[in-house]
Structures are given as structure tokens and as C-alpha cells.
Amino acid sequence: MSPASPEVAAAPSPAAVPIATASANTNIALIKYWGKADEELAIPATSSLSLTLGGTRTTTTVSFDGGDGAADSVTINGTCPGETELARVSRFLDLVRARSGVTAPATVTSRASVPLAAGLASSAAGFAALAAAASRAAGMDLDDRALSRLARRGSGSATRSVFGGLVTWHAGHDDASSYAEPVACTMDLAMVVVVLSQKYKPISSTRAMRATMATSPLFPAWVEASGRDLQAALDAVGAGDLKRLGEVVEANALGMHATMIAARPGIVYWLPQTLAALHTIHTMRDEGAPVWATIDAGPNVKVLTEGARAEEVAAALRDRLPGTTVSARYPGGGVRIEEGP
């Protein structure tokens, strides 16, 4: 996929690929996306910044091979998803069908290497891979920006997983202006992922965003602060200042969760172990370790650190947080497409 190539959404020709496989890594937001200005188009209330992580790929195969009257067939990690998730995938496939001219139902097989719905951005990798595989199987030829815009319609954060490394998502104001693109970065970054729970979230991100926007008195202030945070983070990246980047990243995440907690009723994803992890990270930082916490919509904690010290940081967290699963993750690549026969 070349950033300069045009978006093509014409009906597929007889030579079009009937089946395609694509994979995408998850990403962790450093400056958060929380709340949608337009739910139908998945236009966010704020721009965001993320780091795509290696070794977290979801691989998805799509073929539009169903007969008349057949429904989409979807398998995720060897099982059929529930009605809500199936409907979400089918709605996304309807968008691909409408743009490509394909009318057949699809067969979708997906396997993820990260826990689902546990705050580790599984939907970002899942819908980025689905967007790439489905569009290619439908005969579409999308450049990176167009693929980013398409993936956004499945899951907002999926727009960032199209790209590797450090990525910014421009909130925009319509479909054309809301997309992600890579950010040049010379810093040696890594994330240490502390998994406290692999259970499904008690409330979906979509529902939690709606409730936060509608009822939290802190939401407008968080949106305003987030714009400043993004610029400060980009400035820190440009200057190669990890300490400044880490400070902004941690503050932005805590601000997002404070905004959710202030919703009515409050939305609290944290577990007691989440607070224990935060206190441990603060203690390690006081001791001189380059560690800053971030938390997405879930209880699990991610730690921004230097790549050269990531294994050291991971080992220290394992010792201090017994019973948790800790892994060092390094920047990973964007979407990969493998065309089927």
C-alpha cells in the first residue's frame, strides 16, 4: 500500500482477489481517545497519539463466498462471537460491500494473540486486520490513509493500528479529515504490559464514552486539556525528551479516568491491583527508573519506558506485583496483507 496511491472503490473485476488474509498489531494510546463527536462516522472528540506494539497481531481471513440469503459467518479465536459482536462485524462488512459493489455474505476467520475486551486494545488490531482483509477480498485497492479511514468505522482506535510505531490520529470533522498517520520518532521506546485481568470489561468502551460525555462535568475540561497534552507530547517526541513525554502520558491517562469516575453513575474500570500497580510504578520512578503509567478502558496497566531497560523494568514489576502477567513490548509494524489463492 502506497500513501500516494488513490482510493479505488469500484466493483471488483473478475481478476479481483476472492479471499485475503491480513494482520495488524494492537496499539496503546499515549494521548487518549475518549468520546465521539460523531458516533456514526466514529469521529473522535479529541486527536490522539499511540504506539503500535509488536507481537500483538490479530490475523484475519475474509472471503465473500456466501450464497443468496446466507448470513455472514464469523469465527474469532475458534468460536462464534455473540450476537452483539457478530452484528458489529456484519455492519462493517456492509460498509465494505456498499463501497465495493460486492453483495455476497462473507466468511471471516480471526485469531487474536491478545486478551479480548480487557483494555489491551484487541478491537484496534481486530478491525484494522478486518478492514485490510475485507477490502482486499472485495477487490478494493486502498492507500494507507483510506484504509485508516475505513478501519476507523469498525473501531476508532483501529485507525491507528494501520501504521507501525508512533502514530497520531487527527480527529478531523468528517470522514475525509479523520485519519491516522505515522509520527517520526528517534527515541528508544517500549511498553511494559501488566495484565491484572483478562475478563471482559463490565461496560463496553462505546457505552462508557456515551455516559461520560453525557454526564461527567469534567469531560469538557478534559477535552480542552487533551489538545494541550497532544501538542506537549509531540514536542517531547521531537526533542527526544522521554521524561517529558512520560509525564504528559501519565497525566493524560489519569485525567481520562478521572473524567469517567466523575460520570453519573461513575465508571470505574480499576481493580485494587490497578492502584497497587500505580503505586509501584511511582515508587520505581522515585528510585530512578524511567517508568510512566498509562491505562486504557480496563484495569490493566501499561508502562512507558526506555527500550534498553524494558526487560529490567518488566522483571522489577514481576517481583513487586506477584500474581500478574508482565511482558515487555517493543514498537511493531502496521498492517500486513497476504493475498489468498
pLDDT 10s digits, 270-318: 999 999 999 999 999 999 999 999 999 999 999 999 999 999 999 999 9
pLDDT class of 160 with cuts at 50, 70, 90: very high
pLDDT at residue number 313: 98
Instruction: Based on the fold, state whether residues 27 and 108 are members of the same structural domain.
Output: yes
Q: Which residues pair with 169 in a beta bridge?
A: 48, 180
Residues 312 and 258 in one domain: yes
Nearest CA to 273 out of 166, 189, 197 is that of: 197
Domain shared by 161 and 88, yes or no: yes
Strand partners, 63: 19, 107
State pTM to two decimals. 0.91
CA dist 331 and 191 (Å) reads 8
Looking at the structure, tell me whether residues 173 and 236 fall in a common domain: no
Model confidence pLDDT, tens digit, residues 51-85? 999 989 999 999 999 866 689 999 999 999 999 99
Question: Does residue 164 lie in a domain region?
Answer: yes
Instruction: Read off the pLDDT of residues 19-31 as tens digits, 9 standing for 90 and up.
Output: 999 999 999 999 9
Q: Are residues 241 and 132 in the same domain?
A: no
- Structural domain range at position 65: 19-185
For position 213, which CATH number holds?
3.30.70.890
Of 166, 161, 124, 191, nearest in space to 326 by CA: 191
Domains held by the chain: number: 2
Q: Judge if 96 and 27 occupy the same domain.
A: yes
- Residue 338 counted as domain residue: no
The average confidence (pLDDT) of the chain is 91
CATH number, domain containing residue 179: 3.30.230.10
